[in-house]
């Protein structure tokens, strides 16, 4: 299951999409999502599909891989479909006890599901083509203008970086502590909800203690390496807009225009 | 209590690009009451192997028997296996979680469903085995103890299960020489007075040479040697080629022999001292 | 010779959470020369880690002074200079790597020092080559071995162009091959780059190659000298809860039996030569 989650995974490659400035990619994704919610006809989805197709083609990510990312979210998609099918009023096609299926409901369900699929694959495409570090850099830079109104841009980005850095470490640790407690006869799998929640204590307490110890040591190591917040800091890799960012922007603007035009 | 492993294989992340044979057709037998050393460099499959011995990991193929019971058969209750085979992980102090030492050590016995009286007996026994004073320490928070004491409380937590087989994965990692000697001394005593079968995973050839009756050497998921320490450490070149060493005393004896001064085989400081003295004194008498 | 680190009657006292006051350092006078390789030995709780943290102003003394390249560590204005001059590597390799990519982590220090971006790139590449980890520059740190992670941590310090590196039990959590990688790297930096090394450890075999060995006990320096001076005092080392090399101990035992051997044998090779002479 865990290995199916493609959101947040990064596949390094040398393609025009990978090489775009992360700021461009974040903004483009933002425009894409906005456009997705502006689309009000099935016909409008053709534009979305075309845009997505171009991006996917250029990124050389296999569509199969992209769609595998939907697997863990199938439940949400199915739930959306069911709710729409049964909750929409209109011309009744089929009646089952108190539940009715309407023509409008079916159309609405299909419409919403397509939107969800595009939303998830679009966001996945961003993270698949952008390294976590570039992503956090991009977010930091984009949020920088909002520093004046109190948005802690650097701190947010640093927190994201550290969180990403320690996820694998903590997962490994969870597995180790779980096994150590199982060796002492712990049972994490049987019993009712309360018994299971209680069984988690011997896992969670050591995990929290270890996370705090790590945080403490990391803070000291960062201090020893002269870390003193975001001011005056330089970066090894500086973000730079290039020609390809301009091309991408033009395509995106055209795409946005098309979507708005399609509404009329 | 004996352990028998038959054609054990474990494939890590099967059918993915990360597929990796962590254990490759491993077979061996450990007799009741043996003290066994398990050596191999990091990634040789030691940790995977020991986790198979109490059913924490399921083999891809092959069987593990504890006293004739196939531990992975459907009729075997996992808890009874974990009661018989105690496993102390690396840095076991990281698993402490209770408010008092008593409650932490009692966690295992409680999971076994024992009554309060028996639980108390077990906690007393376990703390006694690791040389901690029951009355002094039972109400203290384990987090207020020193590093070495925490480690001993954690080991007591496994001993309180009263296992017949005890497996320890580098129990002295990170300890200073004094802490190391204390822990190893306690393990030795446990083996001698309670006849517990012990499997010790260690990177220290000196410690292994000092303690064990038999050594298993692992490399790339396979067992390359299984024999007495004196036989194993004869193969110093082979051991070095797979990233392991021999005790300094053994190395000394080997190099002396190359220079024409044969003092025989040595595993410890005591061996080396006596054998060098013997050779030197006999030469003088010639 | 110039002083890299010099301390004068440094005391450090703290109150444990049980309310007991503990004298972690009780009058430390130590003087470390530029370019020296110094090892500080001591069992857990002897105060050696506390001392190390004083060397780059992570801790300040209650009384006494510590001078790093003639800068008083109490001088707050010079804090960042002190930490740039005297870099520090810690015990747990996992808990000192900040970034998700090796080269980004090595860049962390120079970025904090506001070094210009081209210069950072150059320093990062040099530092990674110096610890022999250049080919891993694009890797995620969680996929590396303990020894490799520790070398990345060292590279992160080298990229700050320090004159001295303090290593606080850098090998305590590593396997023998990881320990060797780290010690070889430290030795190379000391010999080839002339970086002053202060190695805190309780593994005696790592101290054998040092220029000078200090032994700590109860917050005080109780022994000091060359490795030969220190390790030849087998009984005293043992009483302090420390090891000596096995050959040194064998030699000591043989001397007690009246065999004429020098007391300061530290390696198997020396021992073989001496014994063959007796034959």
Torsion from C-alpha of B45, B48, B50, B52, nearest 10 degrees: -130
Distance separating alpha carbons of residues C125 and C133, to the nearest angstrom: 9
Interface test with B, best of C179, C201, C251, C268 (most B CBs within 10 A): C268
> For B273, which of C176, C250, C268 is closest by C-beta distance?
C250
Number of structural domains found in chain C: 1
Is residue C237 situated within a structural domain?
no
Cα angle at B277 between B272 and B279, to 5 degrees? 95
Is residue C137 situated within a structural domain?
yes
Q: How far is B108 from chain A (nearest CA, A)?
A: 5
Distance separating alpha carbons of residues B127 and B121, to the nearest angstrom: 10
Instruction: Decide if B144 and C17 are in contact by the 8 Å CB cutoff.
Output: yes
pLDDT of residue C1: 61
Which residues of chain A neighbour B51 with C-beta distances below 8 Å?
Answer: 179
> For C257, which of B245, B259, B277 is closest by C-beta distance?
B277
Strand, coil or helix: B256: helix
A187-234: per-residue pLDDT in tens? 887 778 888 888 899 999 999 999 999 999 999 999 999 999 887 888
Q: How far is A54 from chain B (nearest CA, A)?
A: 29
Domain holding C18: CATH number?
3.40.50.300
By CA distance, what is B99's nearest residue in A?
Answer: A205
Q: In this complex, is the C-beta atom of B276 within 8 Å of any C-beta atom belonging to chain C?
A: yes
Q: In this complex, is the C-beta atom of A198 within 8 Å of any C-beta atom belonging to chain B?
A: no
Question: H or E element: which one contains B14?
Answer: none
User: Which of B18, B93, B5 has its CA nearest to residue B54?
Assistant: B5
pLDDT of residue A8: 58
Q: In this complex, is the C-beta atom of A240 within 8 Å of any C-beta atom belonging to chain C?
A: no
Taking any CB pair shorter than 8 Å as contact, residues of chain B touching chain A are 16, 51, 54, 56, 79, 82-83, 86-87, 89, 92, 94-97, 107-108, 111-112, 143, 157-158, 161
Q: Which domain holds residue C138?
A: 3-226
Instruction: Decide if B256 and C275 are in contact by the 8 Å CB cutoff.
Output: yes
pLDDT of residue B33: 92
What is the rounded end-to-end Cα distance, in angstroms, of chain C? 44
Instruction: Decide if C80 and A224 are in contact by the 8 Å CB cutoff.
Output: no
> For B54, which of A173, A181, A183 is closest by C-beta distance?
A183
Q: How far is CA B93 from the centre of its chain?
A: 16
pLDDT of residue A7: 54
Which residues of chain C neighbour A222 with C-beta distances below 8 Å?
Answer: 98, 108
Is residue C270 situated within a structural domain?
no
Interface test with C, best of A226, A227, A231, A232 (most C CBs within 10 A): A226
pLDDT of residue B73: 84
Token output for B68 = 């004739």
B231-242: per-residue pLDDT in tens? 999 888 889 888
Strand, coil or helix: B91: coil
Domain ranges within chain A, ordered by starting residue = 2-165+235-262
Total Cβ atoms within 10 A of residue C174:
25
> For C112, which of A164, A165, A225 is closest by C-beta distance?
A225
Strand partners, C31: C6
Instruction: Decide if A214 and C95 are in contact by the 8 Å CB cutoff.
Output: yes
B125-156: per-residue pLDDT in tens? 999 999 999 999 999 999 999 889 999 999 99
> For A182, which of B56, B83, B94 is closest by C-beta distance?
B56
> For C276, which of B179, B249, B261 is closest by C-beta distance?
B261
C-alpha separations of C163 from B8, C75, C158 in Å:
53, 19, 9
Question: H or E element: which one contains C213?
Answer: strand C212-217
Is residue C249 situated within a structural domain?
no
Instruction: Decide if B273 and C241 are in contact by the 8 Å CB cutoff.
Output: no
Instruction: Decide if A180 and B95 are in contact by the 8 Å CB cutoff.
Output: yes
**Residue B58, pLDDT above cutoff 80:** yes
Q: What is the pLDDT along chain C (279 residues), one digit of tens a residue?
A: 688 999 999 999 988 777 788 899 999 999 999 999 999 999 988 999 999 999 999 999 999 999 999 999 999 999 999 999 999 999 999 999 999 889 999 999 999 999 999 999 999 999 999 999 999 998 888 889 999 999 999 999 999 999 999 999 999 999 888 999 999 999 999 999 999 999 999 888 899 999 999 999 999 999 999 999 999 999 999 999 999 999 999 999 999 998 889 988 999 999 999 998 887
Instruction: Decide if B94 and A210 are in contact by the 8 Å CB cutoff.
Output: yes
Total Cβ atoms within 10 A of residue C152:
26
**Residue A6, pLDDT above cutoff 80:** no
Instruction: Decide if C176 and B245 are in contact by the 8 Å CB cutoff.
Output: yes
Instruction: Decide if C246 and B276 are in contact by the 8 Å CB cutoff.
Output: no
β-pairing, B61-66 with B3-12?
antiparallel
Which residues of chain A neighbour B83 with C-beta distances below 8 Å?
Answer: 185
Residue that is written with structure tokens 């969800």 in the block: A116
Please report which residue ranges of B98-176 form alpha helices under DSSP H.
Answer: 101-111, 116-129, 134-137, 147-159
- Give the burial string for A107-121 (b: 16+ CB within 10 Å, else e): ebbebbebbbebebb
Which residues 43-102 on chain C approach chain A with CB closer than 8 angstroms? Answer: 56, 58, 80, 83-84, 87-88, 90, 92, 94-101
Mean pLDDT score, A85-90: 80
Is residue C120 situated within a structural domain?
yes
Is residue C158 situated within a structural domain?
yes
Q: How far is C78 from chain B (nearest CA, A)?
A: 35
């Amino acid at each position: 299951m865990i290995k199916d989650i493609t959101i947040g995974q990064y596949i390094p490659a040398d393609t025009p999409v990978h090489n775009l400035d992360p700021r461009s990619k974040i903004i483009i994704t933002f425009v894409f999502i906005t456009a997705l919610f502006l689309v009000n006809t099935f016909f409008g989805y053709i534009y979305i599909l075309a845009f997505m197709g171009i991006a996917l083609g250029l990124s050389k990510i296999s569509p199969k891989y992209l769609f595998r990312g939907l697997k863990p979210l199938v439940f949400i998609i199915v739930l959306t479909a069911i709710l729409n099918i049964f909750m929409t009023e209109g011309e009744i096609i089929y009646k089952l006890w108190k539940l009715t299926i309407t023509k409008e409901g079916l159309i609405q369900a299909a419409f919403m599901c397509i939107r969800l699929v595009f939303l998830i694959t679009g966001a996945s495409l961003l993270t698949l083509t952008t390294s976590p570090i570039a992503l956090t850099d991009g977010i930091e830079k984009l949020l920088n203008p909002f520093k004046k109104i109190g948005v802690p841009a650097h701190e947010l980005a640093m927190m994201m970086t550290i969180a990403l850095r320690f996820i694998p470490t903590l997962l490994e640790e969870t597995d180790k502590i779980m096994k150590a407690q199982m060796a002492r006869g712990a049972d994490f799998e049987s019993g009712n909800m309360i018994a299971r929640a209680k069984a988690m204590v011997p896992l969670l307490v050591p995990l929290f203690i270890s996370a705090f110890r790590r945080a403490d040591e990391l803070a000291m190591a960062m201090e020893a390496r002269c870390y003193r917040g975001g001011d005056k800091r330089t970066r090894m890799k500086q973000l730079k807009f290039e020609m390809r960012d301009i091309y991408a922007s033009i395509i995106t603007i055209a795409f946005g225009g098309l979507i708005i035009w399609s509404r009329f | 209590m004996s352990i028998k492993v038959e054609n054990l294989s474990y494939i890590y992340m099967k059918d993915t690009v990360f597929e990796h044979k962590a254990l490759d057709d491993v077979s061996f037998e450990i007799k009741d009451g043996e003290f066994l050393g398990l050596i191999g460099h990091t990634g040789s499959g030691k940790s995977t192997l020991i986790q198979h011995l109490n059913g924490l990991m399921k083999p891809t193929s092959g069987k593990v028997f504890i006293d004739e019971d196939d531990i992975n058969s459907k009729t075997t209750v996992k808890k009874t296996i974990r009661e018989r085979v105690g496993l102390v992980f690396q840095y076991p102090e990281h698993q402490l979680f209770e408010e008092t030492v008593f409650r932490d050590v009692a966690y295992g016995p409680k999971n076994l469903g024992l009554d309060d009286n028996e639980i108390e007996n077990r906690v007393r026994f376990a703390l006694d085995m690791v040389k901690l004073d029951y009355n002094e320490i039972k109400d203290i928070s384990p987090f207020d103890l020193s590093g070495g004491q925490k480690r001993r409380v954690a080991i007591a937590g496994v001993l309180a299960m009263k296992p017949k087989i005890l497996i320890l994965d580098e129990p002295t990692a990170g300890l200073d020489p004094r802490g190391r000697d204390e822990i190893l001394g306690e393990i030795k005593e446990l083996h001698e007075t309670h006849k517990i079968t012990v499997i010790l995973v260690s990177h220290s050839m000196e410690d292994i040479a000092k303690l064990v009756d038999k050594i298993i050497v692992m490399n790339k998921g396979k067992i390359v040697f299984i024999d007495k320490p004196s036989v194993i450490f004869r193969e110093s070149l082979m051991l070095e080629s797979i990233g392991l060493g021999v005790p300094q005393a053994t190395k000394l004896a080997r190099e002396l022999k190359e220079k024409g001064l044969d003092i025989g085989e040595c595993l410890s400081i005591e061996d080396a001292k006596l054998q060098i003295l013997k050779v030197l004194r006999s030469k003088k008498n010639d | 010779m110039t002083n890299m680190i010099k301390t004068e009657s440094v005391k450090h006292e703290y109150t444990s959470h049980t309310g007991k006051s503990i004298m972690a350092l009780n009058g430390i006078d130590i003087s470390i020369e530029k370019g020296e390789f110094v090892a500080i030995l001591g069992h857990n709780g002897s105060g050696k880690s506390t001392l190390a943290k004083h060397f780059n102003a992570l801790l300040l003394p209650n009384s006494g002074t510590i001078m790093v390249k003639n800068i008083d560590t109490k001088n707050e204005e010079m804090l960042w200079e002190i930490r740039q001059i005297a870099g520090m590597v810690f015990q747990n390799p996992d808990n000192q790597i900040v970034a998700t990519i090796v080269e980004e982590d090595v860049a962390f220090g120079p970025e904090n020092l506001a070094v210009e971006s081209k210069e950072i790139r150059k320093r990062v590449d040099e530092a990674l080559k110096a610890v022999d980890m250049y080919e891993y520059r694009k890797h995620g740190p969680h996929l590396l071995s303990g020894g490799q992670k520790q070398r990345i941590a060292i590279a992160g310090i080298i990229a700050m162009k320090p004159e001295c590196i303090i290593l606080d039990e850098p090998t305590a959590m590593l396997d023998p091959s990881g320990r060797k990688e780290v010690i070889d790297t430290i030795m190379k930096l000391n010999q080839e780059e002339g970086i002053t090394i202060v190695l805190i450890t309780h593994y005696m075999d790592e101290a054998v190659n040092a220029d000078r060995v200090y032994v700590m006990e109860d917050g005080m320096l109780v022994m000091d000298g060359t490795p030969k001076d220190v390790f030849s005092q087998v009984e005293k080392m043992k009483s302090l809860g420390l090891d000596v090399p096995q050959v040194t101990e064998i030699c000591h035992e043989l001397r007690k039996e009246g065999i004429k051997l020098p007391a300061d044998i530290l390696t198997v090779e020396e021992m073989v030569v001496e014994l063959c002479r007796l034959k």
